[in-house]
Amino acid sequence: MYFGLSEDQIFFQDNVKKFLEDQAPLDIVKKIVEGNSSEIKDQLHQGLINLGINNILVPEENGGLGLDLLFATAISQSLGSSIATLPFIGPYVMAPIAIKHGASGKQKNNLFEGMSNNSINFGIGFSEYFGSRDSSGITFSKNKVNGKTLFVLDSDYATHVLLCDNTGKIGIVSLDSKGVDAINLTTVDKTRIYKEMCFNNTPIEILEDTKNTTKAIDKSIDAGRIVVSADSVGASQTMIDKAVEYSKERKQFNRVIGSFQAVKHMCAEMTAELEPCFSLVWHAAHSFDNDETDSRLMACHAKSHISEVSKMVSKKATEVHGGMGFTDLLGLHYWFKRIGLNRHILGSPEVVRKEAAKVQGL
C-alpha cells in the first residue's frame, strides 16, 4: 500500500517551490530580512495568493478550494525549504480551522468569504491558552478585550487578529479598532515577524458556536503544530542537501571532504533520521481530517519528534560546512534559526509531550 502525497498535493507543492526558487532566492531573502525590499515582499505575497494558498482550507461554498490539511502540509514543506518570508501558518491554516469549528453559520459565511477574496487576513494570538506568562494575560468581558499577548503569529498583512483566553474562548479583533497597540518582537528568526499586542477595552467579536469552543482552539493549535513541523522538515531537507553539495566541493588534504568517513556518517545519520519524519507529518495531517481518535496525539507526536530531529539536522549540517557554516555568505543560519524557533512555536517539545501524555490518560 502506497502512503504519500497525491499527484494534486505534489502539484501544489512543486508550484510553490518553483515560484519561490525563481522569485525569492537567498539574495532576495537577505534583502527582505534587512528591510530593504518591502515591495518585493509584497509582490511575493501576492504571487502566493495568486497560487491560491489563501483558499486551501476555505470551503468551496465560500469561494475556497475546500482542501484538507495534507495539502497545507505539503505547501508548508516548500515554504520551509525556501525559508519563505511570508505568512502562512496563522492566516491560511489556523484561522480557517478555528472558524470552521468555532464560529456560527453567519460568522463562517462572512469570514470565509473575506478570507477567500483576501480582504480579511488574520494574525494568531493563542499563546495565553498553551504558554501563558506572568507578564501577559488576556481577558474577555462584555465584548471587550483587555491585556497583552506575546508572539502573535503572521501579522504581516493582518487586518484582524484571533485571540483566545486561558479557557480557550476565541474572539476576533479588528486591528483598526481603538485600544490596539502592537510592537515587533526581536527573535533569532529574521525571516518571519512576531508581535506583542496590547488591548485596552478593545471591541471583540466572540465566536458564537460555544458548544465547540474548546474543540475549535484545540483543532486550530493541532493544525498549526503539524504545519510548523512540515516547515521544519522542509528546512531540514534543504540543510542536508546543502551539506551534501558542500561536501562534494570542499577539499582538504587534496581530497573532497565528502570522501572522509566521518563526513559520510554525519550526512547518512541526518538523512536516516529525517526520512521517517516525512511520513510522520503526512500521517499526522491525514489523521487530522480522517481520524478524530488519534488526530491530537499524532499532532503532538509530529511536533515533538520533528522538533528534536530538525534541531539535530541543523547542527550537523552546519558542522559539515565547518567555519563557513557560520558565515552570512552561505546564509545557512537562516534555516538554522528558523528551525530553532519552530521548535518553540505553539509549544516546545516538553510542553507538547505533556499534552500527548494527557491525551493517552497518563
Q: Over the chain (362 residues), what is each successive 10-residue block's mean pLDDT? A: 82 94 92 85 93 93 93 96 93 95 89 92 90 76 90 91 90 93 89 92 85 80 96 96 90 83 92 95 95 92 96 94 83 94 93 92 83
The CA distance from 238 to 20, in Å, is 14
Q: Which CATH superfamily is domain 7-116 in?
A: Acyl-CoA dehydrogenase/oxidase, N-terminal domain (1.10.540.10)
Q: How many residues in total does the chain contain? A: 362
pLDDT at 211: 62
Q: Which fold has domain 122-211?
A: Butyryl-CoA Dehydrogenase, subunit A; domain 2 (2.40.110)
pLDDT at 135: 66
**Lookup: cell for 95:** 484561522
Q: Which CATH superfamily is domain 213-359 in?
A: Butyryl-CoA Dehydrogenase, subunit A, domain 3 (1.20.140.10)
pLDDT at 260: 87
Q: Which long-range contacts (CB under 8 A, 24 or more apart) does 2-6 make?
A: 3/279, 3/282, 3/283, 4/279, 4/282, 5/70, 5/74, 5/282
- Please give the DSSP secondary-structure letter assigned to residue 325: G
Residue spans per domain, the chain: 7-116, 122-211, 213-359
pLDDT at 137: 81
Positions of E strands within the chain: 122-125, 137-141, 144-153, 160-164, 170-174, 180-184, 194-203, 205-206, 251-252, 255-256
